Chain A
C-alpha cells in the first residue's frame, strides 16, 4: 500500500540578505524532499549545511525565496510558503508540529498548562487537555510537584522535556524535530526515542535532526544528506 506523501518539498532555495553587514548568505539551494506517512527522514551533514534552516523553512518560520513546501492538511496539499498567514497557523496548530531544543517560556504559566496549550488550541477542554499533559509529563519523569510551577526556573534538561511533552501533546501528522534529545540523560533519551517511534509507527511523517548517532539509528527510516551551499558550488 502506498500512501500519498504527507510532505513534499520542491526546489527550495534560501538566501539570507544581511543589510547591516551588506552581504548575502546562500544557505539552501534547490532542495527536493518527499516524506510519506510513517517515514522518519533524518537530516545529516556537517554543521553549516543548513539543516536547521531547512527545517525552519519547512515550518514557514523562515521565508525562502523560491520553491514550495506542500503539506497534506485535511486531505489537501497546502503550500506553507504561499498560504495566507492564518492558514499557516492552522496547519501548525493541527497538522505540523515542531519541537526545537529550547522551550520558549511564557512567564507565570504553570508547566501543566504550557503542555496542555496545544491540545486546548485544537478545541479540547481544559480538564481533558490537562489530563493528556499530565500523562506526557509523567512519562517524561517531570515530578508531579513541579506541574503547577512555571518552567522558567527548571533545569535545562527539565525544560527540554517539558518542551517535548508540549510538542507531542497534540498528535500532528507531520512532526519536525530539531535535536529534541540534545541534553537528556540516557533514560529520558530512550523514552523520547520510544515516543518518536510510536508516532512514526502510527503514521506520522517525521523530519528530524539528531546529532546522537544511536538516536539517529533508532529513529530514522532514511537519511537525507545535506552539504553547505558554498562547498557544493566549489565542487
Chain B
C-alpha cells in the first residue's frame, strides 16, 4: 500500500467476538480493525446488539467467544480480557474514554464540575492543586462551559452542559480511544448540533480514534469514517460511511436508510 506502512498495527483488533446472555444472542461474529485516527460508527435499531458490542469492546462485558486486542503504548497488541486487572483499570482511566448517553452515569454528581474533570488527572498521579485546577479550567473552556461554573455541582447543569462536562472529563487525560454510546441521544436538536460540532473538532484536533454507537444516521455521517450496520446481533454491512449511506447493499441497511426523514 502506498503511503502507508503495512507493518503498522491497528489500535484495536476485534476478531469473531460473540456475546450471549444465557441462551439469547447479544452479538456474534464481529471482526474489524480500528486504525489510529479512525472513527467507526456502529448503527442499528435498539436490540440489534450494538450496545452489547460496545460493552465487549470497552472491557466492560467479557465476550462469550472471540478476542479484543488493544495496541498498548508499551506492549503491542494485548488481549484486554487477559491482561491484569490493574493494567486494564489503568487503560480505562488513561488511554481510553467512555462517553455514556446519560451523562449522569459518566459523571460524579456529588462533586464539582472542576473536580469531575480533575479526577482522572489525579488518577494519573497529578497532585498539584493549581495545575489540576488550571487544566480543568482549560478543558471547561474547550467544551464551552462558562469557567465561572467550575465550582458548581453538575446537578445544576443543563443536559447539553452535562454531556460536554462528561466529554471534558474523558478527554483531559488525552486518551487515544474513546467509546461513545448515543452521545447526542436525548438532547434538543440545537444542543445536538453544538455537541456534534464540538466532538468533530476535538476528534480531529487530537487525532482520536473512536467507536460511536448511534441510531442516528446523521450523527454517523458527520462524525465517522466507517460504519458497521448491526441487525439481530450481527454485522450485516460495513464500508465507508458515505458508501453505506449512499449505496446501501443489504436489505436491512436499505430499510434503515430509507426510513430516515430528509429535512
Contacts and interface: CB of A to CB of B under 8 A. Distances in A.
A86 B35 contact: yes
18 contacts: A16-B247, A18-B254, A19-B250, A20-B251, A56-B246, A60-B240, A61-B242, A63-B247, A74-B3, A84-B1, A86-B4, A87-B2, A87-B3, A89-B225, A90-B4, A107-B196, A108-B194, A108-B197
A222 B49 CA distance: 51
A32 B47 CA distance: 45
B19 interface: no
A88 interface: yes
B254 A87 contact: no
B2 A73 contact: yes
Contacts of A73: 2-3
A17 to B, nearest CB: 7
Contact of A74 (B2, B225, B226): B2
B239 A63 contact: yes
B222 A90 contact: no
A85 interface: yes
A107 B254 contact: no
A78 B254 CA distance: 29
A87 B225 contact: no
Contacts of A84: 1
Contacts of A76: 2
B258 A20 contact: yes
Interface residues of B, number: 26
B234 interface: no
Interface string B207-238: 00000000000000010011000000000000
Given A63-B239, A106-B200, A85 B225 contact: yes
Which of B200, B226, B243 has the most chain A CB atoms inside 10 A of its CB? B243
Contacts of A88: 240
Interface string A61-84: 111000000000111101000011
A73 B239 CA distance: 21
Given A62-B247, A106-B200, A108-B193, A85 B239 contact: yes
Interface residues of A, number: 27
B119 interface: no
B38 interface: yes
B255 interface: yes
A138 interface: no
Nearest to A150: B197
Which of A17, A19, A90 has the most chain B CB atoms inside 10 A of its CB? A19
Contacts of A74: 2-3
A202 interface: no
B3 A90 contact: yes
A19 B254 contact: yes
B2 A107 contact: no
A109 interface: yes
A16 B239 CA distance: 16
Nearest to A120: B204
A111 to B, nearest CB: 14
Nearest to B251: A19
Given A17-B249, A107-B196, 19 more contacts: A19-B250, A19-B255, A20-B251, A20-B258, A56-B246, A61-B242, A61-B247, A62-B246, A63-B239, A75-B2, A85-B226, A85-B239, A86-B4, A88-B240, A89-B240, A90-B4, A106-B200, A108-B197, A109-B197
